[in-house]
Structure 1
Amino acid sequence: MAKKTYRSMDDFASACGVSRPTLSKYFDDPTLIKDVTRKRIEAALKKSNFEPNLFARHLNRKRTKNIGIIVPTMSDPFYVQVVSLIELKLRAKGFWPVQLSSHTRPELEEEAVRTLLSLKVAGVIVAPLGSGSRRSALERLTDAIPVVCFDNPASADLPFVGNDNSQSVAEIVQYLCRSGEPPIFLDVPHLTENAGERQDSYRAAMIKEGHSPLVIDCDAPPSWEFERLGYEQMRRILAKNGLPGKTLLCANDRFAFGAMAAAFASGLKIGRTETCDVRIAGHDDHPLSRYACPSLTTMAQNASEIAANAVELLLGGIEDREADRKVAVNKVILEATLVMRDSA
């Protein structure tokens, strides 16, 4: 038997024998209406193919149930991992995530801001580009709605969830010093504050361990293509004077992947045994780190807690703004966990 078709919410409300506001309340939260009314609506739904246009309904409200998410790139599995967790937590709270990527380009980050404002999202969770961000675009966003940053703080005046780089880099430096030759630090372009914090932490940890820090800056134009940069940097080092030591700590896992590939291509054996030529470690616990060859020793960022805290801070900010309260500028800094694998 063919199911009935209804062209609008008004038509379906009439068929159910309820008012349009009651039907809207049902789609917002079925527990808000009487059991007998809810059962009447649900019986009608089973006999029809009616599906409300929730997105359009949200746009007609002063405040929608849509939440924007902006990240530099969706080709990085770390961002994919965190955004997936954020999405699930927002859905569980009754919100609709709207995901956009700036593709590491300032003009597209600015365009993403305009798009989310036009959609009247209730708030935004953003991983800013950092030094490449256009300050005016983010200021326009924060003037209009609650914003929470993760991975990289856009401003001291915004709520932020991120990694404790001082703790994480110090811990892996201590491990590498205890287990073998002290590490040399292979840096990445300072596109975000994370890069500077990690280098500073490396220097402090090495001095504390009684060793002289040795930082090799990335001598290529700034880029988010960290694997390529790591590969090319390692090739240049090996071609010029060779490695200045047998232990390398890379500023992030993606750079480490490139360095490992270049070392392998040059005939070097990577690993922590005495027969190996070089130890290589990274930072972040990129989702592919455990599947590298050899598997990569690294510091694991707490992706689940980053997502949970970002959502909690944002929804709290939305409630504060609705109640005309001052939005608290909370910062959640999370410790990372050492993951010892075969590379170092």
Structure 2
Amino acid sequence: MSQKKIRNMEEFAAVSGISRPTLSKYFNDPESVRKSTRQRVEDALLHYDYRPNFYAMNQNRRTTRNIGIVVPYLADPFFTEIGRAVEVKCIEAGYSPILLSSHGNPDQENDNLEALRALKPAGVLLAPLGRASDKGAITKFSTEVPLVLFDANIEDTGEAFVGTDNFQSVDLMVEYLCRSGQPPCFFEMKSPSNPNANKRRQAYFESMARQGHEAHVFQAEGEGWDFEEIGSSEGGQLLIDNAFPTNTVLCSNDRLAIGMLAAAYKNDIKVGLEPDASMRIAGHDDHPFSKFTCPPLTTISQDYAAIADRAVSTLFGIIESDSKPATRKESLFDGKLVMRDSA
């Protein structure tokens, strides 16, 4: 056997003189190539120190060119947008994406993964529900199929996570709101569905401390994905009761902020930067509808394109590698402040 370790299929193709597509075809199904070709591949495997991909090239697991994409709630335009970005990247790389929604239901999330497992995908990109997710089921799934999480992280699950740096983004917003007016209160759900909410609350506490201001957190009852309704009913009541000690509110996400803006309008509470406005409201995520609210919502934009590109390229790197990654990778992107008329 050669002393040189062959790191990937490209190197094996180069030293063996067998084309990359032929090798891929052989490793997916040895019976799919001619007997003479099969013998050449097997002779080369005996001569060179190379073992096929731990995941996609396992001879006992016939994979496809399918990539599963699972998002928590496809009716939410935020996930529609980021799901579309990931989908486009897969198509550009020559894979066939299968986009599924978990509809905010952990049982449906598990069913989606089981359905994908039966389809033998090359890999899966998962934006998990988070707190409600069945971590054990997802971890087990990742032992059989290459898995990259995006948007919401579940610690120590999957081979990688790609998302936004919530501590950077919330600090950016808090610093701006403190610099431009009264320091913000923080409005969130008491039982948030998405783990990003917990990071944003902690980031708010830390940022307010750095700015030298007291933190004020207000938590709304309710759970699930009806954020606008909760923002309107619970946030609206706080506005009516004059419960906020400052005239500025940072909502944990844009959908809560959109609901609060609607409640403010209904109750003749003017929001914005004009002298006769009594409140400022800001959000996080740059929801596709945030630029069309009245007034347009000041928020933090997440870099959809960068997140999609990194998630897809990370997954493809795992698929093409010859072994499972030794360590789990995390990639976080900075958010960008989007200043509009609401704050």
TM-score by length of 2: 0.80
CA distance in 2 between partners of 1:70 and 1:174 (Å): 34
Name the structure 1 match of 2:34: none
Name the structure 1 match of 2:309: 308
The aligned runs of 1:169-208 (5 Å cut-off) are 169-188=170-189, 189-208=191-210
Aligned 8 A contact 1:65 1:121 in 2? yes
TM superposition shift of 1:192: 2.5
Name the structure 2 match of 1:3: none
The aligned runs of 1:216-295 (5 Å cut-off) are 216-218=218-220, 220-295=221-296
Name the structure 1 match of 2:338: 339
2:342 counterpart SS class: coil
Deviating more after overlay: 235-244 vs 186-195: 235-244
CA distance in 1 between partners of 2:139 and 2:164 (Å): 24
Q: Deviations over 1:6-65 (max 9, x none)?
A: xxxxxxxxxxxxxxx99xx9xxxxxxxxxxxxxxxxxxxxxxxxxxxxxxxxxx981210
CA distance in 2 between partners of 1:212 and 1:174 (Å): 14
TM superposition shift of 1:241: 4.5
Q: Deviations over 1:181-223 (max 9, x none)?
A: 11111012322221111011111111111110100012x1312
Provide closer, same or farther for how the CA distance between residues 157 and 78 of structure 1 changes in structure 2, counting only shifts above 3 A: same
Aligned 8 A contact 2:318 2:324 in 1? no
2:86 counterpart SS class: helix
CA distance in 2 between partners of 1:69 and 1:157 (Å): 16
CA distance in 2 between partners of 1:65 and 1:136 (Å): 26
Name the structure 1 match of 2:92: 92
TM superposition shift of 1:224: 1.3
Query: In the alignment, residue 252 of structure 2 is paired with which amino acid?
Result: A
Name the structure 1 match of 2:325: 326
1:317 counterpart SS class: helix
Aligned 8 A contact 1:317 1:328 in 2? no
1:299 counterpart SS class: strand
The aligned runs of 1:49-68 (5 Å cut-off) are 62-68=62-68
Name the structure 1 match of 2:104: 104
Q: Deviations over 1:221-269 (max 9, x none)?
A: 3121111111111232134444432111000000000010011111011
2:131 counterpart SS class: helix
Over 4 Å off, 4+ runs = none
1:132 counterpart SS class: coil
Provide closer, same or farther for how the CA distance between residues 119 and 327 of structure 1 changes in structure 2, counting only shifts above 3 A: farther
Aligned 8 A contact 1:317 1:327 in 2? no
Query: In the alignment, residue 73 of structure 1 is paired with which amino acid?
Result: Y
CA distance in 1 between partners of 2:125 and 2:119 (Å): 15
Gaps of at least 5 residues in structure 2 are 1-20, 26-59
CA distance in 1 between partners of 2:74 and 2:90 (Å): 19
CA distance in 1 between partners of 2:229 and 2:65 (Å): 40
CA distance in 2 between partners of 1:124 and 1:145 (Å): 7
Name the structure 1 match of 2:215: 213
Name the structure 2 match of 1:143: 143
Query: In the alignment, residue 77 of structure 2 is paired with which amino acid?
Result: P
2:84 counterpart SS class: helix
CA distance in 2 between partners of 1:133 and 1:217 (Å): 22
TM-score by length of 1: 0.79
2:116 counterpart SS class: helix
1:296 paired to 2:297: yes
Name the structure 2 match of 1:125: 125
Aligned 8 A contact 1:207 1:213 in 2? yes
CA distance in 2 between partners of 1:75 and 1:267 (Å): 30
CA distance in 2 between partners of 1:326 and 1:243 (Å): 48
Identical pairs, percent? 41
CA distance in 2 between partners of 1:174 and 1:77 (Å): 28
Name the structure 1 match of 2:113: 113
TM superposition shift of 1:328: 4.6
CA distance in 1 between partners of 2:264 and 2:146 (Å): 46
Equivalenced residue count is 286
TM superposition shift of 1:273: 1.8
1:155 paired to 2:155: yes
1:248 counterpart SS class: strand
CA distance in 1 between partners of 2:130 and 2:266 (Å): 33
CA RMSD of aligned residues (A): 1.9
